[in-house]
Amino acid sequence: MSFANIRSVIESKVWGQYQALSPSVAVLFDNVQETPPDLPYIICIISYTTTTESVLCIDGEGLEAIVGNLQLSCYVPRAQGMKQLEELAAEGMKAINTMYDPAATTKVKCGQINGPTAILGDAAPYALATLSCRFTASVP
C-alpha cells in the first residue's frame, strides 16, 4: 500500500487542472504551506476512511481496499459575486471527473461530487466554496 502514490495521482491531476488556467491558480496541499498565497487559491485535502476490508478466507487476511475523501476548497475575494467561485469549482469538478486512468499503475476512481457549497456566513475577507467526493484507490 502506498499512500504517497495515491496522493501523487490526486495532487497531480488537481495541480494540472488549475495550472492550465490563465492566469493559473495556486493550489495548496496538506502539510505543505502554512501561509496561504494571495487570492484566489485552492486547498486540496486528502483523507482516508478505510484501508482494508474483512475477507472470509482460511488465513484470515484482510483485502486491501483504500477508500478516502477528496475535498477542494476554493477561496476568492469577497463581495464580487459568485462567478469566480463557481468557475473554480467547475475546474475542480473537471479534475475529479477525469481522475481515473485505466492505464495507470495506481488507479483512483472518484464517486459522486458533493457541492460546490458556498460558505459566506462570517466576516472573512474571502468567499469560500467547497466540493468533495469519495474515492477508491488500487495500488499494486
pLDDT in tens, 92-132: 999 999 999 999 988 999 999 999 999 987 888 899 999 99
Mapped onto helix, strand or coil, the DSSP state of residue 56 is coil
Mapped onto helix, strand or coil, the DSSP state of residue 116 is strand
Locate the domains of the chain by residue range: 3-138
Quick one: cell of 50?
A: 478505510
Q: Can you tell me the distance from the alpha carbon of 129 to that of 71, in angstroms, rounded to the nearest whole number?
A: 10
Chain segment 19-52, per-residue pLDDT in tens: 999 999 999 998 887 788 999 999 999 999 887 6
How much is the pLDDT for 97? 96
CATH architecture of 3-138: 2-Layer Sandwich (3.30)
32 contacts: CB under 8 Å, gap ≥ 6: none
Q: Look at the pTM and tell me if it is higher than 0.85.
A: yes
